[in-house]
Amino acid sequence: MSRLLNWSTEFRVPGEQFEDPELKTVPYLVFQIKRELDYEVHINKDSVVEPSMNLNLAERNKLALQFMEIAVNEYVFRTPDQFYSFEKGKVYLVRPPDYGFTERDCPAVGDGVRLFVGSAKGIQIVEGPKGRGHSNAALIIDSKKAGFHMDTLMHVKIAEIVGHQNFAQEGLSKQELDKVNPVIRGITVETIYRGHSDKHFIVGVAEKNATTATFILQQTGKETSILEYFKLRYNIQLRYPNMNLLMARKNGRNSLIPMELCNVIRGQRVSISQQTPRQSQATTRNCALPPAERIQQTNQIIAAQALHDQENPYIVNAGLDIIKEPLKVTGRFINGPGIVFRERSASREETHHVYPHDGKWKFEMPFYRPARIDKWALYGLFSQNDHRSVNYNMIVEFGKRLMKEAAKKGVEIDVPADCRMVTVTKQNCGSEVEKLMRDAANAACFFVFFVTSDEVPAHPHIKYYERLYTVGTQDMKSSNMKKVVEQNKHLTLENVFLKTNMKNGGLNYSLHSPKGFDYESINKWFPPHRLVLGLGFSHSPFLKNFKGEPYKDVPSVIGYTANMRRNPFEFIGGFNFQPKGREECVVIGNILEDVLRVWKQEHEGQLPQELLIYRAGTSEGAYETILSYELPLIRGSLAKICGVYGHKITYICVSKSHNIRIFQEEVVSSFHLKNN
């Protein structure tokens, strides 16, 4: 039990400090924090489990769980010199070596980024330790790693990104600016040239340097360069006047600052938009730990956060006792489903079973439903540098191998109606893609396969013109094409063509009951009258242009997929837009109407009798909104299309924000990841 004294305070934040363009329009926001008089929180099983699991959403109460979350995190909050803390219980060590971690545990991954070790943790209700029907609050914790920008001068970081230091004298090229800007945009740097610490938000790197960037100095009315200004105003002689300037923003004002005077502030986690492919690959590789090592690191993190320390006053005074031994459960192998292919004669089906030890199966048979690719085009988009290792004959050879793979899988495919190789740059890529797509559409092609340069980002242009000209497309990198043609990497080609068949209306395989199950059991899971609809949400962050200015009205994207065709295991889908930030699916009615129309066409006018919705991307706090807002829209759409009410609806809401990891009880100390 904890008694909180009466106390309150408030603070104001100017609107201009927010990224949201709508919040920027208000003078300031007032935040008030207060404690209730004589407020009591009781910590026992009755006050924790039952209120938080109440099936009546209006009466569900997670106050006790939230109090426990605060108690187990309070030590971290009170020692900011030892921990970086982030949302959803993510915590990282400021100095990992102090807790037994080595350079191997926290390697540099390129671009001035180093991995820091930490954990994700939270309080959740689990079944156990007495099995079904016995629920308890549990601390869920797992070791975690994340990339952080290293505490260094900004020009040192940029030198690592571009791989040389010549830009200190010559400046960055246009290509290097395109490479650097996404990585450093959003970093906060510190300067001390004014005699005290100033913090600046980096927007990007300017093309100008300290000698070419000028402004009118108010005191003299004369045009002055950045180089002259720093000498005159601060008595600082810049060492690298030809180095590009940083574009920075502070208190809503933009400025140009010499990067040699800017130090990257420690504790800044690398965002997804700041990751380079090289950095992402190195991060993934170093985060894949064998089970024994992951368990050891988790235990080190638990010790660092004093979660089992009887001297931890925040846990002890809250009346909590965290059991040291992890929860044990009984596991079992579940047989994998049968993978159904067609025999070459197509007279009967051929079933292969998934191997339970690794989840793999052989793909030697023709597709379950091969596509028919009548008229298509094959185009290569390459940079000038690619011409040293790629030529037109390689494109032709790749086309032949693609057609050979098609015949092997039972797909009927004609010779490409058009085959070309085009030289592109980042500047003209969009226009070149449009020309090719327009030509393909005018030639009545239904499908276009692109092989693209690894250097030129052609994919966004391809997808844009795919929608504009309603011609299906697929693209692969030239490095993968060379693996197929030069190194005979058949598996690469097979994986590529699996996608090609699906994009052209085929179905690679169907599913069969697992071994040991009744043949008809598969029909009980997916009966022919049940429509399964999956929904996923993507709430876009505040996107900015090259000046760092936020775009307005960026919508949220709702992706959906459903088994609306005749085979209950064939899922197709699309996407829809809705106003940004809305937890409820405003367009659920429109999506369902589109899905039901396709179902009706594919099922000879029949409509589903049951609807199962699998919805991701929502928090538990939004359940009541879903029941009060989305279900009426769903029932209305069903009534509109089907003409009747009363359909059976099952709504499954899942949370992806979990970190429960299961290990085998006996974990061998090896570098294999099977037991993880």
Does 282 share its domain with 261? no
Residue 471, sorted as left (phi over 0), alpha (psi -120 to 50) or beta, turns out to be: beta
Across 22-171, the runs of DSSP E, i.e. the strands, are 28-35, 39-41, 83-85, 90-93, 108-110, 113-127, 135-149
654-to-135, 615, 658 alpha-carbon distances in Å: 19, 6, 10
The answer to the question of residue 342 being in a domain is: no
Quick one: 195 and 252 in the same domain?
A: yes
pLDDT band at 344 (very low <50, low <70, confident <90, very high): low
Residue 339 maps to a domain: no
Q: Rounded distance, CA 227 to CA 443, Å?
A: 58
Quick check: is 220 in a domain?
yes
- Residue that wins the pLDDT comparison between 465 and 44: 465
Q: Which domain CATH number covers 650? A: 3.30.420.10
Residue 346 has pLDDT above 70, yes or no: no
Count of domains in the chain? Answer: 4
Token pair 């007279």: residue: 347
Least confident window among 271-285, 513-527, 621-635? 513-527
pLDDT number for residue 538: 85
As a whole number of angstroms, the longest Cα–Cα distance in the chain is 91
The reply to whether 537 and 623 lie within a common domain is yes
The whole-chain average pLDDT of the chain stands at 86
The per-residue pLDDT for range 169-217, each reduced to its tens digit, is 999 998 899 899 999 999 999 999 988 999 999 999 999 999 999 998 8
Q: Please indicate, yes or no, whether residues 327 and 381 belong to a single structural domain of this protein.
A: no
478 domain residue, yes or no: yes
Q: Clarify whether residues 544 and 433 are in a common domain.
A: no
Please identify, among 218, 235, 265, the residue that sits at the C-terminal boundary of a domain.
265
Give yes or no: residues 287 and 248 share one domain.
no
Higher pLDDT, 200 or 129: 200
Q: What is the CATH number of the domain that holds 438?
A: 3.40.50.2300
Q: How confident is the model at residue 581 (pLDDT cuts 50, 70, 90)?
A: confident
Residues 574 and 529 in one domain: yes
Cβ atoms 487, 462 nearer than 8 A: no
Residue 90 has pLDDT above 60, yes or no: yes
pLDDT, tens digit, 9 for 90 and up, residues 451-468: 999 888 899 999 999 999
The residue written with tokens 């894949």 in the block is 288
The answer to whether residue 61 sits within a structural domain is no
Which pLDDT belongs to residue 2?
Answer: 42
Average pLDDT over residues 307-316: 91
Q: Is 291 exposed, middle or buried (0-12, 13-18, 19+ CB in 10 A)?
A: buried
Strands (E), 490-540: 510-512, 530-538
Same domain, 406 and 450: yes
Structural domain containing residue 317: 66-149+276-334
* CB neighbours of residue 87 within 10 Å: 7
Encoding tokens for residue 516?
């040991």
pTM of structure: 0.75
Contact present, 490 and 483 (Cβ < 8 Å): no
289 and 405 assigned to the same domain: no
Are 266 and 114 in contact by the 8 Å Cβ rule? The answer is no
Boundary residue ending a domain (265, 296, 321) = 265
| Residue 524 and residue 645 in one domain | yes
Any domain includes 94: yes
Same domain, 242 and 170: yes
Instruction: Please give the residue that has the higher pLDDT: either 518 or 487.
Output: 487
E strands of 428-553, at which residues? Answer: 447-452, 472-477, 510-512, 530-538
